[in-house]
Amino acid sequence: MTYIDTLGQQAKVASRQIAKLSTAAKNDLLNQVAKALVAESDYIITENAKDMANASENGISKIMQDRLLLTEDRIAGIAEGVRQVADLQDPIGQVVRGYTNLDGLKIVQKRVPMGVIAMIFESRPNVSIDAFSLAFKTNNAIILRGGRDAINSNKALVTVARKALKNAGITADAVQFVEDTSHEVAEELMVATKYVDLLIPRGGARLIQTVKEKAKVPVIETGVGNCHIYVDKYANLDMATQIVINAKTQRPSVCNAAESLVVHADIVEEFLPNLEKAILKIQSVEFRADERALKLMEKAVPASPEDFATEFLDYIMSVKVVDSLDEAINWINTYTTSHSEAIVTQDISRAEQFQDDVDAAAVYVNASTRFTDGFVFGLGAEIGISTQKMHARGPMGLEALTSTKFYINGQGQIRE
């Protein structure tokens, strides 16, 4: 029996044990976990310090180090997130459809747990607790496989959650942590069809690609965001400047940050030099521009073809000039990772065409792509942002972690 077999079987058993926990019992436990996280802040910070020391030794970028860091405030924030999940409406048991049919059958479609959810994620350790709380709120067991960089932080956070489960008389295997961070074990998890009902990978393009290639279990792809801002010829250019600055620089390390700028030729001569001036006052951004844009920006460098397909997660942005809305839409549909895309325009029919024709989870008119987020979208919380079309698309809240089941009650009906 392999390591993943053991974790998988334990998760399967746990998923059955917690399948019928009441809303009250689930919320109580989540509040206990929140309390325990704050109470154990010192322990968590000590463990996180080990990861931070390794990160610094390994020369990991400042942006990535910031994603890794846990402070008392951040732990309080994670705990607050758990309390917010406790406060969300419980989707389990919710009736999606219901009717009595012509045969007199009482047919009710209800939301039920998925069973066992697995998550493979990178860096940010808060993900482990966010994912556990959403999975537990939907009566699912979860297996967490975090990145090497955050191994000590993740272990500490999961240890606190498992202790709280045990203290509440609930099986600690409702959340399990994969301590072996080898690729082999991750790949075993991707094919564990006997145990895993849903796998959610959260991380960079390479992780998502590996999962797409190797997984045999049901997967929801998440989070790779080569997000574009298209500045149309009918844009309010001041608005466009503010949106580009925000989408590129406010938090470049996240998936809803913009990576690519597309500009209509008619306004490019006015827009690009002003944008460059405005952005460089705030933050040094490297623009990688096509030939036409290059001539208009003092500090831009030539873009390579790969730059247009790259999620930089850094202060870097590609720039492309187009001659029409159709060209912009085709360009974006060619390079999009189907996460978030935006148009800046004052023209209503061009805005509508862009929203209808761009194939992505979230399509914006006159707003920053940075808003794509479960809280902002009214889902209360999120376990990731789906970039695929099946099951869930865009920010995934509690519902994305549920399935449905038809309950049919008869009085002896047979089919004629």
Alpha-carbon distance of 14 to 173, in angstroms, equals 6
Shortest distance (Å) from residue 203 CB to a second copy: 20
Residue number, 92 or 129, with CB nearest to a second copy: 92
Shortest distance (Å) from residue 109 CB to a second copy: 7
Shortest distance (Å) from residue 344 CB to a second copy: 8
Alpha-carbon distance of 256 to 313, in angstroms, equals 9
- Taking CA atoms, 260 is separated from 119, 264, 274, 320, 321, in Å, by 29, 13, 17, 8, 11
C-beta of residue 224 within 8 angstroms of C-beta of residue 255: yes
Shortest distance (Å) from residue 220 CB to a second copy: 8
Residue number, 55 or 385, with CB nearest to a second copy: 385
Shortest distance (Å) from residue 343 CB to a second copy: 10
CA dihedral 312, 318, 322, 326 (to 10 degrees): 0
Residue number, 250 or 274, with CB nearest to a second copy: 250
CB atoms within 10 A of CB 282: 11
Alpha-carbon distance of 39 to 215, in angstroms, equals 38
Shortest distance (Å) from residue 20 CB to a second copy: 6
Residue number, 46 or 209, with CB nearest to a second copy: 209
Residue number, 152 or 222, with CB nearest to a second copy: 222
Q: Which residues bind a second copy (CB under 8 A)?
A: 16, 19-20, 97, 99, 101, 103, 105, 107, 109, 114-115, 193, 197-198, 212-213, 216, 218, 220, 236, 239, 242-243, 245-247, 250, 351, 355-357, 359-368, 370-372, 376-378, 388-391, 393-394, 403-415
Handedness of CA 44, 46, 49, 50 (dihedral sign): negative
Which residue do the tokens 């695929």 mark? Answer: 388
Residue number, 55 or 192, with CB nearest to a second copy: 192
CA nearest 384: which of 155, 139, 144, 119? 119
- Give me the amino acid identity at 124: R
